[in-house]
Amino acid sequence: MKNKLLATIKKEILILIRDKVGLSILFIMPMILILVMTLIQDSAFKTINEKGIPIVLVDNDKDTLGVSIYKGLKNSSLCFLSDSIDGKPATSESARNAVAKGKFLIGIVIPKGATNAIRKNVLGLVGETMNTNIVSKNAKDESIDSVNIIFYIDPVTKKSFISSITSNIHEFIATVKTQIMFQSFSDQIASIVPSGSSPPKNTYAKSQIINYKEIYASDLVGEMVPSAVQHNVPAWTIFAMFFIVIPMVGSILKEKKEGSAFRLHTMPTSYLLLINGKIIVYVVVCMLQFMLMLSVGLYILPLFGLPMLQLGNSLMAIFIVALATSFAATGYGVLVGTLASSEQQGAILGSLSILLLSALGGIWVPTYIMPEIMRNISTLSPLNWALEGFYKLFFRGLGVNGILFESFKLFIFFIFTLGIALFINRMKRKV
């Protein structure tokens, strides 16, 4: 038994290392994939972070609200703000045309008298609250119009960008309203308290007692800042590891096509033993792929100005998840190779199913932005289990205990796919 297994392993290794093109595809392509995908995604983030979303602002208000929005957007790292188009001051019409032509992703038009309208609205509220008609006698006389800030949006703009900008604008308006309200209350209080006492100054600035601090909830030591590298390296590594299915399917079906499988079926050797030899070799290949791709994250990506991949707190846990992922990928390869009846069929079935499982598993887009039904389905993808495992290590800084469930599911998937493959093989021979 041992000799047979060793002979099968030796045969698989010899076939693999003599296929120079196949071997280079197995190792070089995943490295290029990680490099390209990480650089692309990082540059996409950088475009937004460094230059910002191109926005044109038409300020017809020329008062507190207009100035506040202008200053706020100008100082925001999210935006690249302009108030002119082709050297001329932007108007509502020219802003609309410029956005339609794609020169800007978003155009914002603040109407004339917007601040005044807010002021009247606030003064009315203050007057009602203080139960006095002194402050609001002018305001009461005038009708209060609602303020319509117009957003022109390029249809190609991502909804998340629009949400970010509109929420910023809402915050600026709220700030201006609060400032006016504070000032009005302050003035009212000053008018009713006995003379000689001085009204409070800079009341709004003093009221800002709540500050925000963003801290990533992670057990990782030091400053853990999620980056494109941290996201992409595990995701594309898993994707590439599962693509071991293609050479595995090729190997299984080539044996059928070349007649070796026929001969082997007539020999006193079980199909399981032959497949085990293949699995051992391809699991080692997967692990080598994994190490190479981690090396890209550790040593190659920093050469392109990207942050270095942080491996978390437990190398043993990384090894366990990687091994479980390798077994799951090879088990799936055996299943597809046993199911398919030609190399073409196997290649199509293998590659399309991996694309599907990777899309479902959150390799392409995060599962948290998926609709609920898709989020539920995604939990069935082994690529999702592997990704969850690596995220727990690389982002949350967990150890072996943290990834045992994901690893267990991946090993069960391996046993399940192998069992199905053996059953199908037996059924195929009972024609």
Partner 1 sequence: MSSETIVQIEDLIKIFTDADEPAVKGVSLNIHKNEIFGLLGPNGAGKTTIISILCGLFSPTNGKVIIDGLDLYVDIKSIKKIIGVVPQDIALYPTLTAIENLEFYGAMYGLSGKDLRDKISKWLEKLGLTKAAHRKIETYSGGMKRRVNLIASILHQPKILFLDEPTVGVDVQSRNVIIEHLKELNAEGTTIIYTSHHLEEAENFCTEIAIIDYGEILTQGTPDELIANTPNSTNLEDVFLNLTKRKLRD
**Angle at Cα 417 formed by Cα 414 and Cα 418, nearest 5°?**
80
User: Which CB, 4 or 103, lies closer to partner 1?
Assistant: 4
Q: Where are the beta strands (DSSP E) in 83-146?
A: 84-85, 88-89, 106-110
User: Which CB, 213 or 429, lies closer to partner 1?
Assistant: 429
CB of 338 to partner 1, least distance (A): 16
Locus of tokens 């009713």: 192
Locus of tokens 């069929």: 345
User: Which CB, 177 or 254, lies closer to partner 1?
Assistant: 254
User: Which CB, 7 or 352, lies closer to partner 1?
Assistant: 7
**Angle at Cα 364 formed by Cα 341 and Cα 248, nearest 5°?**
25
Beta strand 88-89 with 106-110: parallel, antiparallel or unpaired? unpaired
CB of 269 to partner 1, least distance (A): 5
User: Which CB, 11 or 96, lies closer to partner 1?
Assistant: 11
CB of 422 to partner 1, least distance (A): 16
Beta strand 88-89 with 84-85: parallel, antiparallel or unpaired? antiparallel
Rounded CA separation 213/204 (Å): 21
CB of 18 to partner 1, least distance (A): 5
DSSP-assigned letters across all residues of 378-424: HTT-HHHHHHHHHHHHHTS---HHHHHHHHHHHHHHHHHHHHHHHHH
User: Which CB, 77 or 270, lies closer to partner 1?
Assistant: 270
The binding site for partner 1 (CB under 8 A) comprises: 3-4, 6-8, 10-11, 14-15, 18-19, 258-260, 262-269, 429-431
Beta strand 106-110 with 150-153: parallel, antiparallel or unpaired? antiparallel
φ/ψ (deg, to 5) at 319: -60, -45
User: Which CB, 15 or 298, lies closer to partner 1?
Assistant: 15
C-alpha closest to that of 117 among 164, 149, 70? 149
